[in-house]
Structure 1
Amino acid sequence: MSRVRVLLVEDDLRVARVNRDLLERDEGVHVVGSAATLAQADALAQALEPDLILLDVHLPDGSGLGLLRHWRAQGRTTDVALITAADDEASVRTALAQGAFDYLIKPFTGARLAEVVARHRARRTPLAGGRGPLGQSQLDRLLGVSGGAPEPLPRGIDPHTLERVAGVLDAAAAALSAEEVGDRAQLSRVTAWRYLEHLVRTGRASLDHQYGQGGRPAKLYRARESAPAER
């Protein structure tokens, strides 16, 4: 899967730098631009065509909610998540009604920000390849419906690191060993192996064995083409 191209819309330059650093810890994410006003955000959204826009509400020249409404009226369907101090119910409901797929209230954790990227990745995974009607499980993946409460991650599994490892598999053209994944994700082989095994257990990756001349077979991992719900 190609890298996620992100546009940040945040008028506090310090906060924008922190958010950029958090996002780009994931090698599969590239922040293509940063805007501090509505006018800048609108111009950059048109010029850069990002995959994901992280949008503040309170900006010097108006409300990010108005800009989101403007984009939707224009037919722009880019994934937008709100990242804002606006914690009132009216702002949340307006954002969701205008098509925001997530809403983070400041301050938030790096893990929660990583979840935004993970949800975006799941939403842009090809569903029916443009052919024929969608199945319910495919549509549920687009809508972020899991069919029940999500299970907590096991002890020692960090969501941000998990998405880094999953991103390496998504981007790989062939199956990889734990050592190769560790090199690409800047993790030790043992750590990469632990996360890869979790991905296999949860159905997000598959495991192959490569038999050589002697000794134990090598374990190779690849991303699964479909979500676990479709198995």
Structure 2
Amino acid sequence: MTPAPPVRVLLVEDDQRVARVNRDLLERDPGVHVVGSAASCAQGDALARALQPDLILLDVHLPDGSGLGLLHHWRAAGLLTDVALITAADDEASVRLALAHGAFDYLIKPFTGARLAELVARHRARRPAHEGGPRLDQAELDRVLGVIPSAVGGLPRGIDPHTLERVAAALRAAAGSVSAEDLGERVGLSRVTAWRYLEHLVRTGEASLDHHYGQSGRPAKLYLSTDTSDAR
């Protein structure tokens, strides 16, 4: 089988230290190649057009403008490259605007290496099997959109039964409610992967949501097993 082509990534980040860290994290994956790094909107626009990367990781706060404005400019010009925001901008308005302009993911600094790897994996999953082809069938379109159809007579696709049991057992053994990040550390999964399994347990009634409000006033999404048979 012919190996998949590498994911060619452009970084648009004005903090050179952060850009180096992100490059190092990305290139831990041998299938990822950072083809360029820009420190401004103008540089990012020029490199995006010259290098034609597969994936652009874009900051919001740049010295000559907003990354959100640059994203809007790209989409208006017909640039359909996958763009993900990696930024300290954590306000809901920025997130909504980024998604409205076609960003497929949004990471709030600081983030984990596992979450960045999950972003790249999501990009790979979105790439059509025949890039440039004129049409997609529904199954391939669902994969590009990230839709997880239910498997006939079993678990949804993307939910492994052995991993599900590990997550369920760890949740039952937890002393009280836990976050997806905490549970992921216990069973060796990324926060996003643990979250996906926990949400499945909520849907099937094996877990419940337990929202807590911290000093910031934002609800923390915690999970609690509804089956305490394994509780210590």
Q: What range is the shorter-chain TM-score in?
A: 0.5 to 0.7
Q: 1:74-131 deviations in whole A, cap 9, x for unaligned?
A: 0000000000000011000000000000000000000000011111111113269836
Equivalent position of 1:70 in the other structure: 73
Equivalent position of 2:198 in the other structure: none
Q: Whole-Å Cα distance in 2 between the matches of residues 116 and 125 of structure 1?
A: 16
> Counterpart of 1:2 in structure 2: which amino acid?
P
Does structure 2 conserve the Cα–Cα contact (< 8 Å) formed by 1:56 and 1:82?
Answer: yes
- Aligned match for 2:120, one of 117, 121, 145: 117
Equivalent position of 1:26 in the other structure: 29
**Unpaired runs of at least 5, structure 2:** 150-155, 167-185, 191-232
Equivalent position of 2:88 in the other structure: 85
**Unpaired runs of at least 5, structure 1:** 160-231
Q: Whole-Å Cα distance in 1 between the matches of residues 135 and 18 of structure 2?
A: 44
**Structure showing greater relative contact order (alpha-carbon pairs closer than 8 Å, 6 or more residues apart):** 1
> Counterpart of 1:38 in structure 2: which amino acid?
C
Does structure 1 conserve the Cα–Cα contact (< 8 Å) formed by 2:7 and 2:31?
Answer: yes
Aligned residues: 158
Q: Specify whether residues 89 and 95 from structure 1 end up closer, same or farther in structure 2 by C-alpha distance, changes over 3 A only.
A: same
How far the C-alpha of 1:151 sits from its partner, in A, is: 3.9
Q: Whole-Å Cα distance in 2 between the matches of residues 129 and 15 of structure 1?
A: 34
Q: Specify whether residues 102 and 133 from structure 1 end up closer, same or farther in structure 2 by C-alpha distance, changes over 3 A only.
A: closer
> Counterpart of 1:95 in structure 2: which amino acid?
A
Q: Whole-Å Cα distance in 1 between the matches of residues 101 and 13 of structure 2?
A: 19
Does structure 2 conserve the Cα–Cα contact (< 8 Å) formed by 1:11 and 1:37?
Answer: yes
- Aligned match for 2:142, one of 140, 143, 148: 140
- The answer to whether residue 33 in structure 2 is matched with residue 13 in structure 1 is no
Does structure 2 conserve the Cα–Cα contact (< 8 Å) formed by 1:57 and 1:84?
Answer: yes
Other structure's SS at 1:44 match: helix
Equivalent position of 1:40 in the other structure: 43
Q: 1:6-57 deviations in whole A, cap 9, x for unaligned?
A: 0001011000000000000000000000001000000000110000000000
Equivalent position of 2:100 in the other structure: 97
Does structure 2 conserve the Cα–Cα contact (< 8 Å) formed by 1:8 and 1:33?
Answer: yes
How far the C-alpha of 1:145 sits from its partner, in A, is: 1.9
The RMSD of aligned alpha carbons is: 2.3
TM-score calculated relative to the size of structure 1: 0.63
